[in-house]
Amino acid sequence: MYDKVVQSAEYIKNRLKLSPEIAIVLGSGLGDLVDSLTETEIINYEDIPHFPQSTVAGHAGRLVIGKLKGKSVLIMQGRFHFFEGYSMKEVTYPVFVMKLLGISNLILTNACGGIKESFSPGTLMLIEDFINLMPSNPLIGVNDERFGPRFPDMTEPYNLELLQVARNAAEKLSIPYGEGVYAGFQGPYYETAAEIRMIRNHGADAVGMSTVPETIAANYLGMKVLGIACITNMATGIQKVKHSHERVIEIAKKASSDLSLLINAVVEEMK
């Protein structure tokens, strides 16, 4: 895999004028941030050697690179989910490429269901920690020490300094936010009410189908991660109506402008 990642990274480097230092993965419906970039360059996933290809119709599937608050950033518009049938290595392949591009800070965003009582649709939750309930993870298999250690530490999956930068930014901008633990399910069905009761009792504050694999890979690779989850609905059994993907996207789109403001402010403060 190492050689493939090198080839993907070389292709991207050769196409770009900028050399990005920060990467941002945008979750479903959370695309506004792209409009904040200047000196924008775009690379479609399909053009990058060895890069996984998007399956979902209407999902962008591209890297958008540009300047944000004076820093060079790389945005992933469209991520790969385990429930789509990708292997964990494919889901996290872009994170490995980011590492070889020299990126050391990763901001992961997503749309998810809220469990904590104080949350409501539209709340942005800064992720403190995760619970991996997916049946696998991206580090399974023979380890390549060029990427990272066999037994990586997960004491601080979300970097405490970045978390503080995000809190300060949210407060300065008066953006309401919460904090909590994100539980990652495989999906693609929305969890049962019993599953939500179980994970609530185990300390989960939000639930979704992404973010955890990328967090694991980034920590393994020695990158600092900030996670921002957009609560688009309350989890099964907490909200009294059935889930709808359309509603999830509608709420995410509404929250997208706050998220964009927040990320602008975070990037500005990042070292």
Residues that bind ligand HPA (CB under 6 A): 111-113, 190-191, 207-209, 232-233, 235, 248
Instruction: Name the minimum Å distance from CB 244 to ligand HPA.
Output: 10
Instruction: Name the minimum Å distance from CB 165 to ligand HPA.
Output: 26
The residue among 108 and 223 lying less far from ligand HPA, judged by its C-beta, is 108
Q: Report angle CA 225, 43, 261 to the nearest 5 degrees.
A: 45
The residue among 105 and 211 lying less far from ligand HPA, judged by its C-beta, is 211
Residue nearest to ligand HPA (CB): 113
Instruction: Name the minimum Å distance from CB 251 to ligand HPA.
Output: 9
Instruction: Name the minimum Å distance from CB 206 to ligand HPA.
Output: 8
The residue among 64 and 183 lying less far from ligand HPA, judged by its C-beta, is 183
Answer for the pair 219, 162: CB distance below 8 angstroms, yes or no: no
Distance spanning both ends of the chain, measured CA to CA: 31
Instruction: Name the minimum Å distance from CB 248 to ligand HPA.
Output: 5
The residue among 60 and 255 lying less far from ligand HPA, judged by its C-beta, is 255
The residue among 91 and 111 lying less far from ligand HPA, judged by its C-beta, is 111
The residue among 12 and 235 lying less far from ligand HPA, judged by its C-beta, is 235
Distant-in-sequence, close-in-space partners of 243: CB < 8 Å, separation ≥ 6: 113, 190, 233, 236
| CB burial of residue 9 (10 Å; 0-12, 13-18, 19+) | buried
DSSP labels, 82-135: GGGT--HHHHHHHHHHHHHTT--EEEEEEEEEE-STT--TT-EEEEEEEEE-SS
Instruction: Report d(CA 234, CA 248) in Å as an integer.
Output: 10
Instruction: Name the minimum Å distance from CB 169 to ligand HPA.
Output: 24
Residue with tokens 């945005």: 75
